[in-house]
């Protein structure tokens, strides 16, 4: 692994979101690091093209798509870090060990990666089947109201602020606009369904890439027990607990996330855990 510091951070979005989620983090990093935030097919500025979210082996095909984007952007020409929030972090874990030029560091925020309990998988799949993709996406992704404060999505945000408000105006008005809503609802529900079966414990045990784990203690999707288990599985990792932060650290506390990244860049020693209060 190169001892040169990472100056490129590649980020994958969480479920139902696009690359604009990382704009506050890119602003906080400024010219100290380049953020390359990717999009899934049919999200952000990317056309859906021939990508079929309903075809088999979706998770594997999403990994192939991300791998192709990294190749197209020439990311592996210098040391880079790879990560994301939630599903984006999960995909980063799966992808890291499969790349010819792997990242020098992982930045895993509000990360999944462990298999969902059977009863919860069955409950979610039953809900998707009974309600249909559009109705389920509207409820699960907090699209039940266009006002953030009145949306169920608000419960997943711990620290409010300008970045949160700006992004979620984009979330409601641009990502989930009426023209693209149905197609994106199918994509999101299919990604969720595929993620329910993901179990990366073997990959986590085999991982040798240093990882910074960021978890907000107001996260209602992944709890402390889940996150601590991830830390135990990843040999070279440090867990940073963010008090009061919910499921979206790059939106809620971008300056602190930027600081953690810069202090744990490739070739630098992993920083000791710190909180927002330190």
Q: Which CATH class is domain 8-263?
A: alpha beta
Between 135 and 203, the higher pLDDT residue:
135
Q: How confident is the model at residue 1 (pLDDT cuts 50, 70, 90)?
A: very low
Q: What is this structure's pTM?
A: 0.92
Q: Which range, 24-33, 140-149, 267-276, has the best average confidence (pLDDT)?
A: 24-33
Q: How confident is the model at residue 278 (pLDDT cuts 50, 70, 90)?
A: very low
| Sign of the four-CA dihedral 12, 74, 32, 6 | positive
Q: Is 173 exposed, middle or buried (0-12, 13-18, 19+ CB in 10 A)?
A: exposed
> What's phi and psi for 3, nearest 5 deg?
-90, 0
Q: Is the pLDDT of residue 118 over 90?
A: no
pLDDT digits (tens, 9 = 90+) for 71-94: 999 887 778 999 999 999 999 999
pLDDT digits (tens, 9 = 90+) for 25-67: 999 999 999 999 999 999 999 999 999 999 999 999 999 999 9
């Amino acid at each position: 692994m190169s001892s040169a510091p990472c100056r490129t951070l590649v980020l994958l979005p969480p479920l139902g979101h696009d690359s604009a989620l990382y704009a506050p983090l890119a602003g906080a990093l400024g010219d100290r690091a380049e953020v390359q935030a990717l999009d899934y097919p049919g999200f952000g500025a990317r056309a859906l093209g021939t990508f079929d979210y309903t075809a088999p082996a979706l998770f594997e095909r999403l990994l192939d798509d991300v791998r192709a984007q990294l190749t197209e952007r020439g990311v592996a020409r210098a040391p880079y870090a790879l990560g994301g929030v939630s599903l984006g972090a999960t995909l980063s874990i799966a992808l890291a060990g499969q790349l010819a030029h792997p990242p020098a560091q992982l930045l895993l925020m509000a990360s999944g990666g462990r298999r969902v309990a059977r009863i919860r998988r069955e409950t979610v799949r039953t809900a998707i089947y009974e309600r249909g993709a559009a109705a389920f996406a509207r409820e699960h992704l907090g699209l039940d109201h266009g006002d953030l404060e009145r949306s169920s999505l608000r419960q997943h945000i711990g620290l409010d602020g300008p970045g949160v408000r700006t992004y979620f105006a984009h979330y409601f008005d641009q990502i989930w606009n009426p023209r693209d809503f149905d197609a994106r609802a199918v994509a999101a529900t299919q990604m969720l369904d595929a993620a329910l079966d993901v179990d990366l414990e073997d990959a986590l045990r085999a991982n040798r890439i240093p990882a910074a784990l960021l978890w907000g203690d107001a996260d209602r999707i992944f709890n402390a027990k889940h996150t601590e288990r991830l830390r135990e599985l990843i040999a070279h990792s440090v867990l940073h607990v963010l008090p009061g932060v919910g499921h979206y650290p790059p939106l809620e506390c971008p300056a602190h996330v930027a600081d953690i990244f810069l202090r744990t860049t490739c070739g630098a020693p992993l920083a000791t855990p710190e909180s927002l209060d330190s």
